[in-house]
């Protein structure tokens, strides 16, 4: 069964086609063009390059976040509509887990990150144990300096992946925390496809009707409104 995977959580646009045990092809671009213009043409082009008809796709895997709200919605809208129209299963793959899945170092503490704006990052912690990826800490929003201090204090250290490598690399380096190389640090749909394959094999299915992004954060308007309301009630 072939899996088509999409990752548009960051500025990286990545689509991949994989069998459960083999990555057939991946088209990954880190440029400033919009996902909206490129995502569907890339899917079409990847299928053509892999000489695969869309009817051969057996499942869709999509990176669900955290990440850019708009980027996530473009990926999810596309994935849901593809799964619906092709009548195939859909699986949402947490973006930070997919990053860690692409860096299979046994025993190492992996710290995938995403930009959460205004000096903050989304951070989760994972570790490979006996061939499986284990979640050590679920995704949370942290100030990047607090995150660097916390990772530095962990015995054995950690390897930072994701957007914080480019955004706050210096802060982590100064704290003595290791950074992944650029090609490992970036989200790749190949990892989404193969982690998606594992989830599918474990029976995980998401609905084309109701899969939603993993935002972690509420909208700014909601946060402000809550703040104003709690001030007033005080």
Partner 1 sequence: MSLIIGLETSCDETSAAVVADGRTVLSNIISSQVDLHQRYGGVVPEIASRKHIENVMPVVHEALAAAGADLADVDAIGVTYGPGLVGALLVGVATAKALAFAAGKRLIGVNHLEGHVFANFLAAAELAPPLVALVVSGGHTSLVALADCNSFRLLGQTRDDAAGEAFDKVARVLRLPYPGGPQIERLAAQGDPAAIAFPRALSGTGCEFSFSGLKSAVLNYLNAARQKGEPVNEADVAASFQAAVVDVLVAKTMQAAKMAGIGRVVLAGGVAANSRLRSDMAAACAAAGMTLHYPPPVYCTDNAAMIACRAYYQHLAGDWAGLNLNAVPALRLGEKKY
Residue 9 Cβ vs partner 1, minimum distance, rounded to whole Å: 14
CA dihedral 146, 66, 36, 221 (to 10 degrees): -80
82 contributes a contact to partner 1 by CB under 8 A:
yes
Is 58 among the residues that bind partner 1 (CB under 8 A)? no
3-state secondary structure of 113: strand
Candidates 76, 116, 161, 186; binder of partner 1 (CB under 8 A) is 76
Nearer to partner 1, 107 or 232 (CB): 232
Q: Are 203 and 54 in contact (CB under 8 A)?
A: no
Residue numbers 185-214 binding partner 1 by CB under 8 A: 208-210, 212-213
**Alpha carbons 84 and 102: distance in angstroms, whole number:** 28
CB 162 within 8 A of CB 114: yes
State the nearest-atom distance from the C-beta of 44 to partner 1, in Å.
6
For residue 43, state whether it binds partner 1 (rule: CB under 8 A): yes
222 binds partner 1 (CB under 8 A): yes
Mutual angle of helices 144-152 and 163-174, in 10-degree steps: 60
Residue 96: CB minimum distance to partner 1, A: 20
**x/- binding map, residues 86-125, to partner 1, per CB under 8 A?**
x---------------------------------------
| Binding footprint of partner 1, residue count (CB under 8 A) | 35
Q: Which is nearer to partner 1, 59 or 79 (CB)?
A: 79
> Which of 166, 158, 197, 198 has the alpha carbon at shortest distance from 182?
166
Report whether 101 contacts 152 (CB < 8 A): no
């Amino acid at each position: 069964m072939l899996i088509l995977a999409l990752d548009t959580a960051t500025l990286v646009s990545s689509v991949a086609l994989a069998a459960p045990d083999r990555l057939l092809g991946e088209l990954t671009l880190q440029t400033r063009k919009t996902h909206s213009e490129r995502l569907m043409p890339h899917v079409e082009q990847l299928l053509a390059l892999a000489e695969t008809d869309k009817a051969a796709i057996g499942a869709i895997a999509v990176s669900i976040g955290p990440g850019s709200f708009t980027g996530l919605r473009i990926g999810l809208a596309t994935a849901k509509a593809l799964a619906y129209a092709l009548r195939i299963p859909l699986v949402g793959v947490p973006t930070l887990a997919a990053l860690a899945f692409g860096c299979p170092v046994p025993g190492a503490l992996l710290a995938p990150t995403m930009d959460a704006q205004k000096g903050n990052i989304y951070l989760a912690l994972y570790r490979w144990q006996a061939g499986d990826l284990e979640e050590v800490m679920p995704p949370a929003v942290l100030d990047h300096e607090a995150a660097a201090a916390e990772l530095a204090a962990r015995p054995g250290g950690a390897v930072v992946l994701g957007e914080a490598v480019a955004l706050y690399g210096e802060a982590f380096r100064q704290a003595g925390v290791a950074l992944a190389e650029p090609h490992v640090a970036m989200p790749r749909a190949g990892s989404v496809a193969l982690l998606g394959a594992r989830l599918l094999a474990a029976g995980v299915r998401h609905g084309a009707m109701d899969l939603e992004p993993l935002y972690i954060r509420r909208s700014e308007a909601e946060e402000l409104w809550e703040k104003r309301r709690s001030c007033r009630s005080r």
